[in-house]
Amino acid sequence: MKKIAFVTGATSGIGKACAVKFAQGGYNLIITARRADKLSEVEAELKELGAEVKALVFDVRDAEACEKAVAQLDENWSKIDVLINNAGLALGMEKEYQGNLEDWSTMIDTNIKGLLTMTRLIVPGMVARNEGHIINIGSVAGDAAYAGGNVYCATKAAVKAITDGLRIDVADTALRVTNIKPGMVETNFSNIRFHGDTERAANVYKGITPLTGDDIADVALYAASAPKHVQIAEVLVLATHQASGSVIYKKQ
């Protein structure tokens, strides 16, 4: 019987890459996102790879919608082996005292509260079965703040603390908990951060070869595939010319 991986924010970037990589690794997939059309496209792609797929349309910021979606999973889908809390985003790069309150709320509700909601809904079943793996997609931004990062960095610092706290809470079980902290990854991340300013987003990656979603998905699958007695607790993944969240060498 195939294992099941549950991936939030699965329609693009790291989330989609993880869904594809786990399908290629022999998993069936539960995928979630806000847009039904994009989710259907990913569902079709995963089925072509031989995976059975359950697509759930909801926003992780809506706790009630999350609960309803998880509650509808029948016995064939409810025994989740790997939860990948990927849904997240950055919005804006204003100075903290000039920040947009709505952007802040969206980041906090998605990156922190959404992750907590999905953890609360799925991990109890893992504990009851005494098996499972939670993989949270954090960020190098959670290690130290960088200019313009303020609230986004805070949300990813929270992801680290929440991940560490969960690992402590399940230490008496066979569950494993992983925090993957990517550096510069070329996805639609910057386009979203700059509210659709494609030119500004493209400039972020000029002069450096950034990571790809596939690079992070490789790490996630490796962590999930490690022997049962091995827990990959935390992985920092940076582009070769990136030393930290704020130190990046770019060729002119």
pLDDT, one tens digit per residue, over 167-179 is: 999 999 999 999 9
CA pair distance 29, 245, nearest whole angstrom: 32
Own/partner pairs, 225-231, CB within 8 angstroms, 24+ separation: 225/25, 228/174, 231/167, 231/176, 231/177, 231/178
| Predicted TM-score of the model (pTM) | 0.96
Active site residue 152: yes
Tell whether the model's pLDDT for residue 197 goes beyond 90.
Answer: no
> How far does Cα 137 stand from its chain's mean position?
4
Structurally, at CATH architecture level, domain 4-90+103-182+211-237 sits in 3-Layer(aba) Sandwich (3.40)
pLDDT per residue as tens digits for the range 85-130: 999 999 999 999 999 999 999 999 999 999 999 999 999 999 999 9
pLDDT per residue as tens digits for the range 27-85: 999 999 999 999 999 999 999 999 999 999 999 999 999 999 999 999 999 999 999 99
- Active-site option among 152, 205, 222, 249: 152
**Domain limits of the chain?**
4-90+103-182+211-237
φ/ψ (deg, to 5) at 249: -95, 125
Residue pair 11/184 in contact (Cβ under 8 Å)? The answer is no
pLDDT more than 70, % of the chain = 100
Tell whether the model's pLDDT for residue 152 goes beyond 90.
Answer: yes
CA pair distance 14, 75, nearest whole angstrom: 28
pLDDT at residue 198, as a whole number? 87
Name the residue type at position 18.
Answer: C
